[in-house]
Amino acid sequence: MSAPVWLIASYLLGSIPVSFLVGKASGVDIRAVGSGNVGATNLYRAVGLGPSVGAALLDIAKGFVPVFFFPRWDGESAVWAAGYGLAAMAGHIWPVWLRFRGGKGMATGAGVFLALAPLATALALALWGLAVAATRTVSIGSLLAAASLAVLVWATGGPAHVVGVGAAAAVAVWWTHRANIRRLLRGEELPARRGAGTAQPPREAR
């Protein structure tokens, strides 16, 4: 198959709304609880640690698989791998199955860059973990990790096109976290614990 077909496949793979499906299997529509986001953090608030960890790992796989495997099958330049990664992230953020209202791209983006730049990604994830441990706020860790990624790719000798994709991914993650940024500025951001938030999500998160 040609590269454009693999791009579509990457988008469709990224579009699988794992956390939404896991929530539904547990009897919860996670769009109606906590922040209203269909990502693993909000799934954790709704149904607990085990299902959310499983969903996060599958979201990571949605980014890793197209970047790592599809270039082996497309007969094109390895540069296309970065395009497949961006397509998978776009699918996660704007999934066709949920009327283009998806997650925030962090876990799928982590999978993308684990395949493209594993050392830089490991360092960014370490920053994420330290920030979350210090603040108990996942969004702060996500924003810090996303902002540092392109710099870390460059610092660890990554190719220019991967640096550029890292910068594009950071813009996407910050854009999807715009409601979180507003809540952080108001001191209203939801903590990373089960049951956080109200029965209905804030209007800006719907």
* Nearest to 107, CA basis, from 158, 50, 146, 164: 146
pLDDT tens for each residue of 115-162:
999 999 999 999 999 999 999 898 999 999 999 999 999 999 999 999
| pLDDT on residue 164 | 94
Any domain includes 199: no
Q: Which domain holds residue 172?
A: 3-194
- Split at pLDDT 50, 70, 90, the class of 205 is very low
Any domain includes 165: yes
pTM for the model:
0.86
Any domain includes 202: no
Encoded amino acid at 102, one letter: G
Any domain includes 94: yes
Any domain includes 200: no
Any domain includes 68: yes
Find the mean pLDDT for residues 179-203. 70
Domain count, the chain: 1
Distance separating alpha carbons of residues 196 and 31, to the nearest angstrom: 14
